[in-house]
Amino acid sequence: MKKFSLSLLMALSMTGMTHAATLPAPASPDPNLWLEDIDGAKQLDWVRQHNADTVKKYADTPGFRQLDARILEVLDSNARIPFVNKIGDHYYNFWRDKEHPRGLWRRTSPASYASEQPTWETVLDLDALSAAEKENWVWHGVDCLKPANRRCLLMLSRGGADADVVREFDLASKQFVKDGFVLPEAKTQATWKDQDTLYVATDFGPGSMTASSYPRIVKEWKRGTPLSAAATVYEGRHEDMSVSAERDHTPGFERDFVHRQLAFYDSETFLRGKDGKLVRIDVPSDASTDVQREWLLITPRSDWTLGGRTYKSGSLLAAKFDDYMAGKYQDGKQPLTVLFEPTDTTALDAHSWTRHHLILNVMDNVVNRLEVLTPQAGAWKRESLGGAPELSTIAASGIDADDSDDYFLTVTGFLQPTTLYAGTLDKGEPRAIKHSPAFFDASKYRVSQHFAVSKDGTRVPYFEIAAKDLQANGKNPTLQYGYGGFEISLQPAYSGGVGRAWLERGGVYVIANIRGGGEYGPRWHKAALKANRLRAYEDFAAVSQDLFKRGITSPAHLGAMGGSNGGLLMGNMLTLYPQLYGAVVSQVALLDMQRYTHLSAGASWMAEYGDPDKPEEWAWIKTFSPYTNARAGQKYPPVLFTTSTRDDRVGPVHARKMYAKLAGLGYDTAFYENIEGGHGAAADNKQSAFMSALGYTYLWEHLK
């Protein structure tokens, strides 16, 4: 059983966009409510006009075109590492470049992949498919049926939206299966039960979706029958976030599971018997579980007492799955095995199985180290797999947990291009097989880690990348980036785009590891949830003020940037701390926190922010609702809002309305909405380069 990631949970939802006509009216008159009709002709004309204004002012210069081209060169480089996943006997990779902007799904042998120039076989040309079908297909992934790995479910999105079309594909013939499984556009979760049966959670019609706009019902669909005849496996409630089902195809350990996501951090998982009966895995609803062969791994997000013993939030615990389901751990006679327990500075970043081992990726003050654990009676055998170079990131994962102890390992840093290693546990050191190229001269720069003190005394780490000869004169153009939500960590990673667009031009780049993220595990995240959301913004402000104190920059030369939840962060830095910044870029953002639960997939994030329809919660949500708090007579810095029409996760409505309100109040603001792109705001490398170049150019124009 694979534990669904937060990003996947955010990407399961209903067909199409949310329109104003279906939404309740706001509590007070909103002159920009008309912009909530996402695909309306009048609204799209408005978008095109303001896009043209922004392009004319910021993107219609030789300097912009040169930067755009240099970022695109990074994204299209054929020297990039082609990361792969193993399906059957081949390694598969999805690849975009200048000649293939929509992308190639291709494969090679493990031996060929390890060579300097692998020989690739094209399985599906998405550019050719898009041209033939006159659709703007964007790759969303694939699920192949083990152990034969011949039949696959391909997920294809129109224009980059989370909603996709599911189509059955044959790997041997490299063709879509005639009269095979096909699901229409929706935010669908479809997985194989067997060659003739799928588990499908999708939009089955009125009443089949949750308030969060995700599937409420999962069914078992037999080949050759209409979807309307599929048998219901489980129905969640309208108030739930989503439901889904899957089969674990591990040979000898085949099991079926049903998942009920109650809220973003609360879920239930059931073991489904051959008779269709469901037995819940009895763990706290805020704990995550992972079943692999005979083992059950549990990660509680709160301190958890079981059998008279208390296990710390953020720990990783192990039990024999069958024994746990039989209740043998509940009486305390058989304690859970503690594989990891956090400290004040450490958190579990990830874990990954190989056939006989478990790899742990641990963060200590946001820097990684790896451990290999081997199951045995009592305490598991524990060995080091190495640590990252100073202020870098190291990560490892098993290649095929059903078959081998092979693994991939990556090392990357702000100034260190990524290197990919391959190895086999218990068989010596891994060997480097791929190197990402250097896209800028890193010898001129240095990386350092610092700690700012937030308003409540909390120490907040941040990374700084700057020239070695940096003068602490308060005049350095500085870009401070942050996210601060959903327990997502910002770790050191190489970016040729940042190097070319910011560092080479004399800028300082700063990553703020504020609360709300996962840098110190669940406790760091919970510290900025709901009524405590302002802690994240206080942390970001504290980092800015520490940069001033150290003489790195000053408000006139400090820019801030963030996307999605980080775009909400930017909206709040604009309205709550305008005196700290010379310019702000807010990307694919939430901004209208009074309406967010009624826009696109917004209701799914109430566990993060709260429910604005409850007066007692709106009382504190309104303190971090930028659209609500923006008002006349303030000294707001210039701000750019970027978004995508096809973003059916957050939606373009927030950015449209925020820009319209600020522009109406006479503030210096700009707007750009990519008609394609989804929540990533770009459907291909060319669009990605343009959106990046626009953000960097905007900051340089106002901070230089």
DSSP assignment of 20-60: GGGSPPPSS--TTGGGG-TT-HHHHHHHHHHHHHHIIIIIS
Single residue among 391, 420, 438 that ends a domain in this structure? 438
Single residue among 438, 456, 479 that ends a domain in this structure? 438
385 belongs to a structural domain:
yes
Tokens of 117: 């120039």
Same domain as 425, residue 453? no
Same domain as 545, residue 434? no
Please state, in angstroms and rounded to a whole number, the distance separating the CA atoms of residues 489 and 476: 26
539 belongs to a structural domain:
yes
584 belongs to a structural domain:
yes
Same domain as 479, residue 434? no
Question: Catalytic one among 564, 586, 600, 688?
Answer: 564
Same domain as 503, residue 364? no
Sequence-distant (≥ 6) Cβ neighbours of residue 457 within 8 angstroms: none
Q: What would the DSSP string read from start to end of 147-170? A: TT--EEEEEEEETT-S-EEEEEEE
What's the number of CA atoms in the CB half-sphere (13 Å) around residue 69?
6
Say what the pLDDT of residue 28 is. Answer: 59
Please state, in angstroms and rounded to a whole number, the distance separating the CA atoms of residues 452 and 107: 47
Same domain as 460, residue 403? no
Q: What would the DSSP string read from start to end of 223-258? A: TTS-GGGPEEEEE--TTSSEEEEEEE--TT--EEEE
Query: Is residue 679 annotated as a catalytic residue, yes or no?
Result: yes
7 belongs to a structural domain:
no
* pLDDT higher than 90, residue 217: yes
Say what the pLDDT of residue 677 is. Answer: 84
Say what the pLDDT of residue 435 is. Answer: 97
* Range with the poorest average pLDDT among 16-25, 329-338, 391-400: 16-25
* pLDDT higher than 70, residue 5: no
Q: For the chain, what is the domain count?
A: 2
The pLDDT tens digits of the residues spanning 461-499 come to 999 999 999 999 999 999 999 999 999 999 999 999 999
Same domain as 448, residue 432? no
The pLDDT tens digits of the residues spanning 398-452 come to 999 999 999 999 999 999 999 999 999 999 999 999 999 999 999 999 999 999 9
Question: Catalytic one among 90, 654, 679, 702?
Answer: 679
* pLDDT higher than 50, residue 687: yes
252 belongs to a structural domain:
no
Say what the pLDDT of residue 199 is. Answer: 98
Specify which residues 139 forms β-bridges with. 156
Same domain as 611, residue 488? yes
Please state, in angstroms and rounded to a whole number, the distance separating the CA atoms of residues 604 and 628: 21
Say what the pLDDT of residue 20 is. Answer: 31
Sequence-distant (≥ 6) Cβ neighbours of residue 697 within 8 angstroms: 58, 59, 63, 64, 67
* Range with the poorest average pLDDT among 19-23, 377-381, 563-567: 19-23
99: left (phi over 0), alpha (psi -120 to 50) or beta: alpha
Single residue among 372, 407, 438 that ends a domain in this structure? 438
Same domain as 653, residue 552? yes
Average pLDDT over residues 630-646: 97
Decide which of 29 and 297 is more confident: 297
Same domain as 455, residue 433? no
Tokens of 100: 């293939």
671: left (phi over 0), alpha (psi -120 to 50) or beta: beta
551 belongs to a structural domain:
yes
* pLDDT higher than 90, residue 132: yes
Contact between 348 and 364 (Cβ < 8 Å)? no
Q: What is the CATH number of the domain that holds 669?
A: 3.40.50.1820
Say what the pLDDT of residue 14 is. Answer: 26
Sequence-distant (≥ 6) Cβ neighbours of residue 259 within 8 angstroms: 4, 242, 243, 244, 245, 246, 267, 268, 269, 270
515 belongs to a structural domain:
yes
- Of the candidates 280, 278, 279, 300, the one whose C-alpha atom is nearest the C-alpha of residue 289 is 300
The domain in which residue 623 lies consists of 47-72+439-703
88 belongs to a structural domain:
no
Over the chain, what is the mean pLDDT?
94
Say what the pLDDT of residue 673 is. Answer: 97
Same domain as 446, residue 420? no
Specify which residues 450 forms β-bridges with. 462
* pLDDT higher than 60, residue 283: yes
Same domain as 553, residue 465? yes
Tell the residue number behind the tokens 């079981």, with chain if given. Answer: 306
What kind and span of H or E run contains 291? strand 288-292
The pLDDT tens digits of the residues spanning 532-561 come to 999 999 999 999 999 999 999 999 999 999
Query: Is residue 625 annotated as a catalytic residue, yes or no?
Result: no
